[in-house]
Amino acid sequence: MKASAPVPILALDVPTAAAARALTDSVGEALGSVKVGLELFCAAGPDLVRDFARGGLDVFLDLKLHDIPNTVAGAVRSVSALGAGLLTLHAGGGGRMLRAAREAADGTDDPPRLLGVTVLTSHDGKELGAVWGRKVASVPDEVARLTEQALEAGMDGVVCSPAEVAGLRARFGSDILLVCPGIRRAGDAAGDQRRVTTPAEAVRAGASHLVLGRTVTAAEDPAAAFREVVREMRDTTRAAGAV
């Protein structure tokens, strides 16, 4: 069975609703999915998510929920009313929290697909070990461990760096969502990210969604950069024989 082409998601990592709308307008009809993260959600709130969803965009609401199970369940129910298609929760919140989120989502009319955030792409093994208070021998092994826990708790997939995608596909199969930030065009600066790859590499590894942030938004012409990345994704998918 041939793989599906991955979905490009434009990260609206901007401080105002006006800036977000200007960015989406500049990309135009080529745009199908957008990410609303903490910066924009704190500035513009639920109304912007509703507006994007009503306008036909698939919204990836990247809130990385991490709290006690009851609080997270309430947040998931609230998000379900906004029309977002994807919602993130920290996999490190544990099985009870993730299962509470799953149960809350399943009790709504239009639930988002739930994603467990594994290891932030800004972390390398040394930083992760400092956070967790123990030596981390392998970041991919930690990502796989958190992915297994997230899937057992009913998540639809995980957020991971492109560097871990191939291993997760081999271990967990083709049905789960693997959403990848840390995408950089050849020659782009990595910024504060530690584990990055090019769009073509992420596609070949088997990512289901590519989150396009600073590689697009920091470009001189964001709309042209977005089209360039989407073209690279499409050409790589075709070369791999996907449909």
Instruction: Enter the tokens of residue 34.
Output: 């957008």
Calpha distance 120→56 (Å, rounded): 29
Is 64 designated active site?
yes
CA 205 – CA 210 distance, rounded (Å): 12
- How would you class 133 by CB atoms within 10 Å of its CB: exposed for 0-12, middle for 13-18, buried for 19 or more? exposed
According to DSSP H, which parts of 81-220 are helical?
A: 95-106, 125-132, 139-152, 165-172, 199-205, 214-217
Q: Do residues 158 and 115 lie in contact, with contact meaning Cβ atoms separated by under 8 Å? A: yes
Structure tokens that stand for 24 in this block: 């989406």
d(CA 127, CA 125): 6
At residue 61, the 3 state secondary structure works out as strand
161: nearest Cα among 128, 135, 122: 122
Instruction: Indicate which residue of 35, 64, 126, 135 is catalytic.
Output: 64
Catalytic residues: 64
